[in-house]
Amino acid sequence: MNYIQITDLSKSYSDIQALKDLSMEINVGTLFGILGPNGAGKSTLIKILATLVEPDGGEVFVNNINLIKNPRKIRELIGYVAQDIALDKILTGRELLDFQSDLYHMNKKEKYERIQLLVNQLEMNDWIDRKCGTYSGGMKRRLDLAAGLLHLPKVLILDEPTVGLDIESRNIIWQLLKDLKNDGMTIILSSHYLDEIDKLADSLVIIDDGKVIAQGTPAQLKNKLGGDRITLKVREFSTYEESKKISEILSSINGISQIIINKAQGYSINFVVDKEKDLLTKLKVELAFSKFEIFSLAQSQPSLDDVYLQATGKTLLDAEISMTGKRDLKKESKQSMR
Amino acid sequence: MELKQYNLFFLYQETVALTKRLFIQLKRRPSTLLAGILQPIIWLFLFGALFSKAPEGFLPGVDSYGNFLGAGLIVFTAFSGALNSGLPLMFDREFGFLNRLLVAPLASRLSIVLSSFFYITILSFVQSIVIMIVSFVLGYGWPDFYGLGIVFTTLILLVLFVTSISLCLAFVLPGHIELIALIFVINLPLLFASTALAPVSFMPNWLGWLASLNPLTFAIEPIRIAYTQTMNLDVVALHAPYGDLTCKSCISILFSLTVFSLIIIRPLLNRKLN
């Protein structure tokens, strides 16, 4: 059953179009992943869903309630865990949770029970009565997550919740998300970590440049790519012309498809081989015939990165790197400030 | 009706929580409170000493310069506190804490503004009472019961007026550096261009005009009357270049300014908070 419907959502910040007619549907009780490189529009989408940013166009319905017309009703349904953890470093963790529960109008008994339950669940007993200013990144994130869950929201929205976290904190958060989903909570998780989305998400969208470029379950998206992924190099750093010649050779072999020359990785060649056929022996013969030797050859099951690569011609990592330096984070932060 | 009652209770719950947070911050970092008290006390000592040998009758209607200065410093203390009231909100904006408030289903986002008003009013009262006690100990007098009522009414109006402007600036300006710079620029000039340190009759004509239009003066003069004579709202408190103003007129002007500022900032707060 669709719980959240997003239709033709658009948003611009002065000259930058962050979202371009984005549409998607999210089922109740599922963990929905939003994957994409930094600057793809994930945070803008999340902020619109959290009622912090008003879209320029389009519609969002949560449980058939119009988000733009009834933001307060939506706020009762959602819990939000922001990318940048904003805690009051002078308050203790417990005081912050107490403060937050008053903002959600919880009564004393309810408040006490929920805080204690979350403190235990997120293993915060040892430090919850210390001031937030003394917390590590992992502690802050766990507290922030607890604050988002205090009022038992129907939908939990998390914007890159595990960025920069230690393994212990990440595992605790992952386990909690799995438990919450099993309890029927709808979870929206934005991330640029492929393994996180792959392991946790029931379904996902991949966003690039403000648009949805792929949508489905992780298995569906990977299966669409067909067989195993091969990354081939005939020398450490080939030229484009050389790789072009090799790709022509590859395209003549029946059972090889989706050939891409990956400029960011020294003009390596990525392609898909049909699972049913033993094509690698034939490949070696064909290359040797054209006087090419294999420098390296890596074979892997299709991943979400391959889905992204197939749709955009670059890996997620390359997209991240290419965005570095292009974004004015200070300006973006000012633009999103109320 | 039931829903409205719930909303009122929720508004109360939110406002108490937000105010409590500000007081916890103050308790754990009391430097703002202490500085706000220490600065006017130092001024009271230094300015009092500076004019201690002034000839009798130097200032009409008062026994000493300290007696004259007390009212100015009480108002200045409340004014400075209120002017800084936008800073916590600005920091909440900058560090993203405001978003935590904005994603919550608040009964009314007015609670964010109300909590700042309550906090600053209580803080200003505490600071002002300390200044009043120090003034009393130094022999600069104490208002009668009716006068005390006028002192606190005037302070509430001033704090509401200045806090509304400060909160407005906290939403309009891009960051805390700009807000602090603006506070720095307007704080002392407004004090010197008022009757806090000297009466209008001591000033050149242009400064007398400025002082007589300065909102601080409308707060200082009724408090000065409360300190120097039996309180009477119809007594002339300010000999302005444009005419004499009674205590009642000064308080009425301050009241009008406060109402006007609250009306003016409402659309901005609505836009920023909704």
CB A206, CB A304: distance < 8 Å: yes
Query: Are A72 and B105 inside 8 Å of each other by CB?
Result: yes
B102 touching A, CB under 8 A? yes
CB B126, CB B49: distance < 8 Å: no
Task: Record the tokens describing residue B77, joined without a space.
Answer: 């203390």
**Mean pLDDT on B227-254:** 92
For A252, residues 6+ apart whose C-beta sits below 8 A from its C-beta are: A286
Query: Are B25 and A338 inside 8 Å of each other by CB?
Result: no
CA gap B77, B40 in Å, rounded: 7
Of A72, A90, A334, the CB nearest to B28: A90
pTM given for the model:
0.83
Name the residue type at position B195.
T
For residue B168, list chain A residues with Cβ-Cβ distance below 8 A. none
Question: Which residue bears the tokens 């330096």?
Answer: A325
pLDDT score of B1 = 40
- Angle A290-A291-A292 (CA atoms, 0-180°, nearest 5)? 95
pLDDT score of B2 = 45
Phi, psi of A135 (to 5 degrees): -80, 150
Task: Record the tokens describing residue B67, joined without a space.
Answer: 């007696």
Cα-Cα-Cα-Cα dihedral sign, residues A314, A270, A311, A170: negative
Task: Record the tokens describing residue B238, joined without a space.
Answer: 């300010």
Task: Record the tokens describing residue A48, joined without a space.
Answer: 């619109």
Of A73, A95, A337, the CB nearest to B24: A95
SS3 per residue for A55-88: CCEEEEEECCEECCCCHHHHHHHEEEECCCCCCC
CA gap A275, A157 in Å, rounded: 38
10-residue mean pLDDT profile of chain A (338 residues): values are 91 88 94 89 93 94 95 94 90 97 94 95 94 93 94 94 85 91 94 87 92 90 80 87 90 87 86 78 86 87 81 75 65 61
Using the predicted structure, report yes or no on whether residue B43 has a pLDDT greater than 80: yes
Q: Tell me if ipTM is over 0.90.
A: no
- What residue in A sits closest to B18 (Cα-Cα)? A99
CA distance B116 to chain A (A): 16
pLDDT score of B118 = 95
pLDDT score of A39 = 82
Q: Which helix (H) or strand (E) holds B178?
A: helix B176-192
Radius of gyration of chain B (CA): 20
pLDDT score of B271 = 80
For residue A80, list chain B residues with Cβ-Cβ distance below 8 A. 103
Q: How far is CA A128 from the centre of its chain?
A: 29
For residue A131, the 8-state DSSP code is: B
Using the predicted structure, report yes or no on whether residue B177 has a pLDDT greater than 90: yes
Cβ density class A117-128: b for 16+ within 10 Å, e for less:
ebbebbebeebb
Query: Are B171 and A337 inside 8 Å of each other by CB?
Result: no
Using the predicted structure, report yes or no on whether residue B5 has a pLDDT greater than 70: no
Q: Which of A11, A8, A151 is nearest to A78 (CA)?
A: A151
For residue B16, list chain A residues with Cβ-Cβ distance below 8 A. 102
Radius of gyration of chain A (CA): 23
Cα-Cα-Cα-Cα dihedral sign, residues B65, B70, B72, B77: positive
B182 touching A, CB under 8 A? no
For residue A201, the 8-state DSSP code is: -
CA gap A287, A271 in Å, rounded: 15
CA gap A198, A222 in Å, rounded: 10
Phi, psi of B13 (to 5 degrees): -60, -45
For residue B55, the 8-state DSSP code is: P
Task: Record the tokens describing residue A3, joined without a space.
Answer: 């719980």
CA torsion B74-B77-B83-B85 (nearest 10°) is: -110
CA distance B14 to chain A (A): 5
Q: Helix, strand, or coil here: A156?
A: strand
Query: Are B100 and A337 inside 8 Å of each other by CB?
Result: no
